[in-house]
A and B are shown apart, each in its own frame.
Chain A
Amino acid sequence: MSDHEVKALARARRRIAIALSLTVFLLYFGFIFAVAFEREMMARMIVPGFSAGMLFGVLVIVGAWLTTWIYVRWANAHLDPRRAAIQRARPR
């Protein structure tokens, strides 16, 4: 019973960990490939003193913060309580 729950929890954590890692990876490599191969696009100015490349860069930083926050929220709300429930369920 408890083995089954631990496995389900491990699967859930693995799924969200890999999905969020891919999100950050794709966002960052979108930026890197744009820097490497789409220089004209990145050089375009949005307002004086602020280019598309700078906007993209700031978005990557915000994206890193957001995904970190999403994971911490998920883990605090699901991982910790479910772990505690498994520990309680097993008589010592």
Chain B
Amino acid sequence: MSPPAPATPATSLGSPNLTAICFFLAFVAITLAITWWAARRTKTTEEFFAAGRAISGRQNGIALAGDYMSAASFLGIAGLVSLSGFDGLIYSIGWLVGWPIVLFLIAEPLRNLGRYTFSDVVSFRLRERPVRVAAAIGTLAVVLFYLIAQMVGAGNLIKLMFGVSFELAVILVGLVMLTYVLLGGMLATTWVQIVKAVLLMFGAALLCTLTLLQFDFSPTRLFARAGELYGEGVFAPGKQVANPWDAVSLGLALIFGTAGLPHILMRFYTVPDARAARQSVFWATGLIGAFYLMTFILGFGAMVLVGRDAISAIDKGGNMAAPLLAEVLGGTGLLGFIAAVAFATILAVVAGLTLAGAAALSHDLWVSVHRRGRTTHAEQLVVARIATIILGLAAIVLGILFKGQNVAFMVGLAFAVAASGNFPALVLSIFWRGFTTAGAVGATLTGTFSSLILIAASPTMMVDILGHEAALFPLRNPAIVTIPLGFAVGIVLSLLGPEASAAAGYDAKERRIIMGAEDPRNEPG
């Protein structure tokens, strides 16, 4: 018995689209002009990594949204909703609730304690070198997994939308991104992220409006139509959360992962003070929440107007749901616009990741650990740019190496490592006087490596990718084990060997969290 032939929907996806190419070239032209403008304002390390700390709270909030809303959340969530309905909401909500946690626990202390990386905060009052090495490992693990996911996604997406080869697409993304970061540093990256966030919000709002226009502007009428077509299962938890403990574990990784993502944390150094850091999260939370509500409508819109069979015929994961919806609603013109927005989305996220990885390599490992802080400004800037080139080339090479692999799990992996390796050390160092160097190193390394090991032993890796019968570890996301483990190791190691100088430095740290770096009492002498 042969399976029915797949539906061949009438779509121009996969053939070069003139509108898409025009919009894309316009985006690249605008962002390169911004880069040229930013390059003339990027002469010091502080300008390169922190845009001279002159970004306003609102600008940074929009840029944070641009840094955070990856192609995974735009195309992936819309696709997930279009194929499984309610389950997509679980991811959107998880990705949003991380933001209040960032605001309450991390944003202001981070801004007041650090300069370029979150290791600045963890290593404050502790022995600097071991802590920085551990934090750099945690940072690079998150950045590389996230980069691989984005680059492979970019290659597939651009191949599908513009009809160029995978390798060419990856190289193109890598080179354009390198131009932004290398020349314009954080200032160019910030404005690329702002332009992208505005385009993405506009594109999503436009698609939403056009969708709801067909349902008398009543979302429930749209949802009800989906229920008529595909049954009421689309409104209830489905097969994405078949194992309940997997859902809980994923939830933990999502809510605490955001607070450990190095490229997000780094953005808080671009604003002048703690008040602006706070405003940034206010804007980011509002934008990201609104965006995910719109994605939910887009997903259902694609389910009803495009149809599930047509969506999964183009891409089994449903990633093309939003572009296909655009084509149904507005023809190849709108499809081209949305395709260009998706491309811009990837560029902005990849630029932020590269900058965060470069800061860990140059500021943490080279300047602080290798040179023990004794470098010239000129050397710091050269090293920062070399680190950027290394990261950019790594992104291109890894993207090509992982061609054809299922890399969707790598974003989950990045969140698990961020939540288990970086988050516990960051929170304990801010809130606990008794935290020690051994505790920080132990928490970061245990959280990072236990996540890596348990994902290697998970059903995603062993059953889905390697094709074994069963997996050594039952859950797809390790966070329910690895977050408590990270905290436990940090606490136990600190209790076993108290560190007098670390405890003594806590008052100064607490003071600086409240009063800021500019408080004259911070620098003794």
Contacts and interface: CB of A to CB of B under 8 A. Distances in A.
Interface in B216-264: 219-227, 232-233, 235-237, 241, 244-245, 247-248, 251, 255
Nearest to B250: A32
Interface residues of B, number: 54
B468 to A, nearest CB: 26
A14 interface: yes
Given A61-B93, A72-B278, A49 B226 contact: yes
Given A43-B237, A87-B515, A48 B104 contact: no
Contacts of A75: 108, 275, 278
- Among A61, A65, A71, A80, the one with the most B-chain Cβ atoms within 10 Å of its Cβ is A61
A27 B86 CA distance: 18
Contacts of B366: none
A36 B221 CA distance: 27
Q: Name A's interface SS.
A: helix
Contacts of B513: 10, 13
Contacts of A53: 86, 89, 235-237
Nearest to B520: A92
Contacts of A68: 99-100, 103, 281-282, 285-286
A80 B235 contact: no
B241 A64 contact: no
Interface string B98-122: 0111011100100000000000000
A51 B333 CA distance: 35
A60 to B, nearest CB: 5
B247 A32 contact: yes
B90 interface: yes
A7 B89 contact: no
B343 to A, nearest CB: 28
B325 interface: no
Contacts of A27: 97
A42 B241 CA distance: 13
B515 A64 contact: no
A17 B513 CA distance: 13
Contacts of B237: 35-36, 39, 42-43, 53
Contact of B97 (A9, A24, A42, A87): A24
B241 A60 contact: no
A49 B251 contact: no
Interface string B494-522: 00000000000000001101111001100
A50 B86 CA distance: 10
B164 to A, nearest CB: 38
Interface string A64-76: 1101110110011
B235 A51 contact: yes
Contacts of B289: 61, 64-65
Contacts of B278: 71-72, 75-76
Contact of B222 (A36, A37, A49, A92): A49
Contacts of B225: 49
A50 B510 contact: no
Given A20-B104, A28-B93, A68-B285, A9 B279 contact: no
A84 to B, nearest CB: 10
A45 B232 contact: yes
B289 to A, nearest CB: 5
B247 A36 contact: yes
Contact of A35 (B99, B241, B285): B241
Contacts of B220: 47-50
B275 to A, nearest CB: 6
Contact of B515 (A29, A32, A83): A83
Contact of B514 (A25, A57, A83): A83
Among A39, A53, A68, A71, the most chain B Cβ lie within 10 Å of the Cβ of A68
A60 B99 CA distance: 13
A85 to B, nearest CB: 12
A39 B236 contact: yes
Interface of A: 3, 6-7, 9-10, 13-14, 16-18, 20-21, 24-25, 27-29, 31-33, 35-37, 39, 42-43, 45, 47-51, 53-54, 57-58, 60-61, 64-65, 67-69, 71-72, 75-76, 79-80, 83, 86-87, 92
10 contacts: A14-B431, A21-B100, A24-B104, A35-B237, A49-B221, A49-B235, A51-B86, A65-B285, A83-B514, A83-B515
Interface of B: 86, 89-90, 93-94, 96-97, 99-101, 103-105, 108, 219-227, 232-233, 235-237, 241, 244-245, 247-248, 251, 255, 275, 278-279, 281-282, 285-286, 289, 292-293, 431, 510-511, 513-516, 519-520
Given A49-B219, A53-B236, A60-B93, 10 more contacts: A21-B100, A35-B237, A35-B247, A36-B237, A39-B237, A49-B220, A50-B235, A60-B97, A61-B292, A64-B100
Q: Across chains A and B, which 10 residue pairs bring their CB atoms closest together, nearest first?
A: A49-B224, A36-B244, A43-B236, A49-B223, A51-B235, A32-B251, A49-B220, A17-B104, A36-B247, A48-B224
